[in-house]
């Protein structure tokens, strides 16, 4: 397990993403700094059977965006904790 920081640079984040794919990892969790900069890495990840979970939407042909309501989830969590 490794945590990589992008230091507010999409270019650094893309480079780290590619390095992780090449290192043979199985899963990447991504807080994307761009909605389109990672499309070629998504293609490579798909070809190498690497699962990529992005916390922000990405608009690439081979990416599936699943969204949830952060406010509703936070409310439900707070309500459950209050009980």
The whole-number pLDDT of residue 40 equals 92
Length of the chain: 83
pTM for this entry? 0.69
Q: How many helices (H) and strands (E) does the chain have?
A: 3, 2
**Could you write out the DSSP letters of every residue in 39-64?**
HHHHHHHHHTT-EEEESS----TT--
Rounded mean pLDDT of 58-70?
A: 73
The whole-number pLDDT of residue 1 equals 67
Rounded mean pLDDT of 45-61?
A: 86
């Amino acid at each position: 397990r490794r945590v990589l920081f992008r230091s507010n640079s999409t270019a650094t984040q893309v480079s780290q993403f590619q390095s992780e794919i090449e290192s043979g990892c199985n899963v990447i969790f991504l807080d994307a700094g761009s909605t389109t900069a990672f499309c070629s890495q998504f293609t490579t990840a798909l070809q190498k059977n690497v699962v990529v979970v992005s916390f922000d939407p990405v608009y690439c042909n081979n990416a599936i965006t699943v969204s949830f309501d952060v406010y509703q989830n936070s409310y439900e969590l707070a309500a459950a904790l209050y009980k």
